[in-house]
Structure 1
Amino acid sequence: MSCYVATFHTHLAALTTARALAARGVSAKMMPTPRKLSSSCGTCLRYEAEDPCLSDMDVDMEQVCTLEAEERYIVLIKKA
């Protein structure tokens, strides 16, 4: 299992994605977005899953990263 962090353009997108992940059985925690990743809406999701669950992301998703080590993120997908 890997740890992922997803950032969003809106708080609603983060909440919608958290609900979609929960329906899939993936526990996601809403938390403040690390400044290393974004300053967009300020809310991100941190979750652990077998895959990044990209099909469950809201359309206002900004990016999904893996958390490799403390404060070391690798961007998997980033939308403009």
Structure 2
Amino acid sequence: MKYYIIVFKNTLDAMNGEKALKEENYIFKMMPTPTAITQSCGICVRIEDKKYIDEIIERNIIRYKNIYIKEENGFKEVV
């Protein structure tokens, strides 16, 4: 199953990102950052709908470090 991971530079950005996404009524989960993506904050956002990812990027809703897509063979950077 494909899904997207938004990783943050630090915990403050992750907390602010969570708040902003809640205010925008996005459907997401906070989760530990996968070990395959180690150079980031320890918590990240998981989103399953690509439409949300496109809106987040286009509208610059949150401050993030990178966005990855989880595919069968691991994580691939989107942005």
TM-score, structure 1 normalization: 0.73
Computed over aligned residues only, the root mean square deviation of the Cα atoms, in angstroms, reads: 1.9
Structure 1 or 2: more strand by fraction: 1
TM alignment of 1:1-80, pairs within 5 A = 3-49=3-49, 50-52=51-53, 53-54=56-57, 55-58=60-63, 61-69=64-72, 72-77=74-79
Q: CA deviation at 1:67?
A: 2.0
Structure 1 residues without counterparts, runs of 5 or longer = none
Structure 2 residues without counterparts, runs of 5 or longer = none
Name the CA shift for 1:48/1:24 in 2 (closer, same or farther; >3 Å): farther
Aligned residues: 73
SS at match of 2:65: strand
* Per-residue CA distance 1:1-34 (angstroms, 9 max, x = gap): x621011111111111112112222122211111
Structure 1 or 2: more helix by fraction: 2
CA contact (8 A) 1:30 1:45 kept: yes
TM-score, structure 2 normalization: 0.74
CA contact (8 A) 2:26 2:52 kept: no
| Runs (4+) off by over 6 Å | none
CA contact (8 A) 1:5 1:45 kept: yes
Matches of 1:64 and 1:3 in 2, distance apart?
Answer: 11
Matches of 1:25 and 1:56 in 2, distance apart?
Answer: 12
Matches of 1:34 and 1:67 in 2, distance apart?
Answer: 10
